Amino acid sequence: MKVLVVGSGGREHSIVWKLSQSPLVEKIYTASGNGGTRIHGENIPIDSDDIDSLVDFAKKNEIDLTVVGPELPLVKGIVDRFSESGLKIFGPTQKAAMLEGSKVFAKIFMKKYDIPTSDFVIVKNKEEALEIIKNKKYPYVIKVDGLAAGKGAFIIFSDEDCNNAISQIWDQKVFDEAANKVIIEEYLDGEEVSVFAVCDGERYVLLPSAQDHKRVYDNDKGPNTGGMGAYSPSPLATENILKKVEEKIIKPLLKGMIKEGIPYKGVLYCGLMVLDDEPFVLEFNCRFGDPEAQVILPLIESDFAELISKAVDGRFEDLTFNLSDKYAVCVVLASQGYPGSYRKGFKIYGLKELANIKDGYIFHAATRYENGEYLTNGGRVLGVTALDVTLKDAIEKAYKLVEKIHFEGMHYRKDIGVKGLKRLGVI
Ligand code: AMP
Ligand code: GLY
């Protein structure tokens, strides 16, 4: 089949790479792709949220299956638009993607279907917020309702934090319409883990868990980023925790979505806080994580195109699905200055030598290919992934690969996976 992948980051390169291994896939287009996706197919210059042009392209080129990487096109209704045109596409409908697109929708849904999450109130303006806050003890959390590129959650430990959140949300109106509603919720003091499932509307397959590293510097210091690295599976997601996630979160969610008339198809990304051996939902996302996809997809042994295709068709009843029992680690190599401003266009050295290594994959995030060279083209440039039997060996292998790559100003965290090693008692 001919496949179109929508997006241009490291997540999309890993999706394209995984699809390229399937005997079912003849040709892959990526919109708009990067220097890595072009290795496995053809990049087309259409933005990931230009839904009209994507529909036109898919019709003209008789695309058999479209896979969407980022949340924005999903929340804007790309799945509905493709389906109306008779095109097969993987992901939730616009209404179902509200689980990510509206935190208020997600919270009310969780309350209705008894899915564990922190207690909350919804406010519509600054006055209502101040009324709630004046009686609240620190810490607590303020979150804007809509998509905010990972910047819409404020953990409030002090008056200063509170004033900053209020100022950004209501005085400077940084979040615009995304902050028409705001949630004030209880702080959960635990450890975070993400659990992923691919859903066919009724059934699901569980993918390996993962832990992201959101802060830019080692030991979770510095500002938030899109994610500086990940490892999978996370020892925090024990069998016991995963069973609770399935019974208390995923199964009631799928049943609830059917009851609401919006069955959930696509990737369900459960962002969880584990506390006293119980999982609580921080947020749902309706897509793979980035860089979590770069560690999860290499652990899938089954045919990924078949998995995605059967999810769209609602046909998991006859799916065979196998996972590797190795660990995967991904270290993100970023441009100098990221997550603040940075320059791009620097030559990347070392990639050609690493093109065909065993259990190691260099996923391109922001690169472009020009005159036979790869150049940096954004903040998160590459995701260096390695697999091994133990987490410790996978970490060492990933950092050995990192040493072979260089570009001007390259920086990365040196402690990806260390939390996992501590939990396993290895260090
Ligand atoms: P969210 O966008 O809801 O995932 O929030 C972003 C980040 O804020 C999460 O990854 C957590 O680190 C933190 N966070 C969100 N909600 C809470 C909460 N209720 N308690 C503690 N930390 C939270
Ligand atoms: N790495 C976090 C996310 O994809 O949302």
Q: What is the pLDDT of residues 231-284, one digit of tens each?
A: 999 999 999 999 999 999 999 999 999 999 999 999 999 999 999 999 999 999
Residue type for 325, please?
Answer: D
Q: What pLDDT was estimated at residue 356? A: 86
In the prediction, which pLDDT does 407 show?
98
User: Positive or negative CA dihedral for 96, 97, 100, 105?
Assistant: negative
Q: What is the CA radius of gyration of the chain?
A: 21
Q: Please tell me the number of Cα atoms within 13 Å of 119 on its side-chain side.
A: 2
CA distances to 281, 298, 332 from 415, rounded to whole Å, are 26, 21, 11
> Which amino acid belongs to residue 91?
G
Task: Provide the whole-model pTM.
Answer: 0.97
Q: What is residue 201's predicted lDDT score, i.e. its pLDDT? A: 98
Q: What is the position in ligand 2's atom list of the atom closest to the CA of 290?
A: 4
Atom of ligand 2 nearest to the CA of 289: 4
Query: Rounded to the nearest whole angstrom, what is the distance from the C-alpha of residue 140 to the centroid of ligand 1?
Result: 10
**344 burial type by CB count under 10 A (0-12 exposed, 13-18 middle, 19+ buried):** middle
Ligand 1 centre distance from Cα of residue 52 (Å): 34
Using DSSP, state whether 149 is helix, strand or coil: coil
User: Does residue 218's CB lie within 6 angstroms of at least one atom of ligand 1?
Assistant: no
On the 0-12 / 13-18 / 19+ scale of CB atoms within 10 A, 49 is: middle
∠ CA 136-153-292, nearest 5°, is 140
Distance, CA 282 to ligand 1 centroid (Å)?
6
Percent of the chain at pLDDT > 90 equals 98
CA distance 204 to 198: 5
**d(CA 185, ligand 1 centre) in Å:** 10
pLDDT at 144: 98
Ligand that comes closest to the CA of residue 144:
1
- H or E segment and range at residue 103: helix 103-112
Given a cut of 90, whether residue 308 has pLDDT beyond it is yes
Q: For 366-419, how does the pLDDT look when each residue is reduced to its tens digit (9 = 90+)?
A: 999 999 999 999 999 999 999 999 999 999 999 999 999 999 999 999 999 999
Is 350 near ligand 1, meaning CB less than 6 Å away? no
- Assign 150 a pLDDT band (cuts: 50, 70, 90): confident
Give the model confidence (pLDDT) of 13-59 as tens digits.
999 999 999 999 999 999 999 999 999 999 999 999 999 999 999 99
Whole-number Å distance between alpha carbons of 412 and 402: 9
More confident residue, 355 or 142: 142
Q: How far apart are the first and last CA of the chain?
A: 47
Give the mutation target among 68, 72, 212, 215 for probing the ligand 2 site: most ligand atoms within 8 A of CB.
212
**Structure confidence at residue 73 (pLDDT):** 98
The mean predicted confidence, pLDDT, of the chain is: 97
Nearest to 69 by CA among 53, 47, 88, 85: 47
Find out whether the beta carbon of 153 lies less than 6 Å from any atom of ligand 1. Answer: yes
**In this predicted model, what pLDDT tens digit does every residue of 100-132 receive, in sequence order?**
999 999 999 999 999 999 999 999 999 999 999
Summarize the confidence of residues 207-233 as an average pLDDT: 97
Q: What does the pLDDT look like over 324-376, one tens digit per residue?
A: 999 999 999 999 999 999 999 999 999 999 988 999 999 999 999 999 999 99
Helix (H) or strand (E) holding 183: strand 182-186
Beta strands in 48-119 (DSSP E): 65-68, 89-90
Place of tokens 């890993």: 14
Nearest-CA residue for atom 2 of ligand 2? 289
